[in-house]
Every structure is written in C-alpha cells, then in structure tokens.
Amino acid sequence: MSFKARILFTFLLIHSLVYYDILVAFVFSSAVLAIFPGPDNIFVLVQSITHGKKYGLATVAGLMTGCLVHATLLAFGVSAIIKQNPNLYFSIKLFGAFYMFYLAFKVMRSPKKLDISDGNGEKKSLGSLYRQGFIMNVLNPKVGLFFLAFFPGFLFSHFLNIVLQFYVLAFIFILVSSAIFSAIAILAGSISEYIKTNKSLGKVLSWIQVLVFVGIGVYLLFSDK
C-alpha cells in the first residue's frame, strides 16, 4: 500500500470513528436482516444441504457479488440526486422508511412457518451455483429497491464524497452478510434440523423481524443525515 493510500485509509478510519454511532447502527441492522430467514439465506441453506458446504459458500459468493452491482448503481444514481436536489433526497429517505413499514406489514401477513426442503436435486458445479446466486441477485428488482430504501438513511458524513460513503456502507453490508451467510452454509445440517424440529420458531422469528423492520423505518424517519 502506497504512502498516499495509507494516509487516505487512516483519514477514513478516523473520520468514520467520529460517526461510529451511525455505522454501528448500520452494522447491527445489516446483521439482523441477514440472520432472519429470507429468500437468499434459505437458498444458501438449501444448496448447502443438497450439494455440500462449499457449494453453499459458492452461492454466497454469487449473491454478494450481485449486491456489489446493486450498490454501484445506487451509489452513482442516488449521489447525483442528492447533489442536485436535497428535498428529493429527503423524499427518498421517506420512501425508505415507509418501505420498511411495508415489509413489516408483509411479514405480519405471511404464514408464520419455515419450510426447508432438502430434495435430491441434480449435482451442480461450484461455478454454476456462483452464477445462479449472482444472476438471482442482480435480476431481482426487490434487492435494488431494498438498497435504495436502506442505505441513504445511514450516510454518515457531511464531508466525505457520497459515492465513497455508499461504497463504505456496501462493503460493511457485504462483509456482515457474507459472514452470516457463510456460517449458515457451514452449519447447514444443524440449522435445518433445528428449524424442522421447532415448529414455533417461524412465528417467533417473524415477529422479531417485524420489530426490526419497524425499528429501521423509525430510524430512517428521524435520522438527521
């Protein structure tokens, strides 16, 4: 690493620590969202059960690469909007909050059970599962919509470039999600058996997920960034 790069990294680290409360809230929110069952982590779990742990990890890599594509589109698109119209940025934050409330409502209305199927599918290659995870993520408009709703409310600096802030948040989100999804892949057998034998787990997780979505929505409404 060059001297200039070390200086820049040190500055970013010190600057980020000043706004550590926002970043800590973002890390916590990202972790909780990654833990609770959804299409992505259930997909990782099923692939790990069906094909093996390393295949689950390949799926995780594909999903996280797809997240980077969405983060890039968000960084360059929303940053331009923020520069041109602060009022429109506030509207994006408002949309983000109400989208979180909408997700909470959807969880409330959904069946309170978890269905894990470990059917005997055809053996797939690591590359094919990586591509499947990547394509599944990139072509899912709900992921881009979620990023648009989630990220802007956690911008943490009035001084750093907005594109850079989005990439910092994306890196944190991908790092946290990768760690949790990888743990799911590695512990796939134990997790699936626990889910299958605990019928009330789905209901408990659903209501906690509702609280998380509502909490993030409230945070987005009242954050001053």
Predicted confidence at residue 173, as pLDDT, reads 94
Predicted confidence at residue 172, as pLDDT, reads 93
Predicted confidence at residue 158, as pLDDT, reads 75
Residue 15 clears pLDDT 60, i.e. is over it? no
Burial (0-12, 13-18, 19+ Cβ within 10 Å), 112? middle
**CB 120 within 8 Å of CB 200:** no
CB contact set of 194 (below 8 Å; sequence gap of 6+): 201
| Percentage with pLDDT > 90 across the chain | 14
CB contact set of 178 (below 8 Å; sequence gap of 6+): 60, 64
Residue 23 clears pLDDT 80, i.e. is over it? yes
**CB 177 within 8 Å of CB 30:** yes
The pLDDT tens digits for 167-199 are 989 999 999 999 999 999 988 867 766 766 776
Q: Among 69, 60, 34, 29, which Cα is nearest to 177's?
A: 34
Average pLDDT over residues 133-149: 84
Average pLDDT over residues 48-76: 89
The pLDDT tens digits for 33-59 are 888 777 788 788 878 887 788 888 999
Residue 153 DSSP symbol:
G
Show me where the domains of the chain are located: 26-222
- Amino acid type, 122: E
Residue 154 has, within 13 A of its CA and on its CB side, a CA count of 29
The rounded mean pLDDT for the chain is: 79
Q: Which of 92-96, 116-120, 202-206 has the highest mean pLDDT?
A: 92-96
Predicted confidence at residue 66, as pLDDT, reads 92
If phi > 0 it is left, if psi is from -120 to 50 it is alpha, else beta; for residue 73 that is alpha
Residue 118 clears pLDDT 60, i.e. is over it? no
Q: Which residue has the higher pLDDT, 220 or 74?
A: 74
Q: Is the pTM of this model over 0.85?
A: no
Average pLDDT over residues 86-107: 81
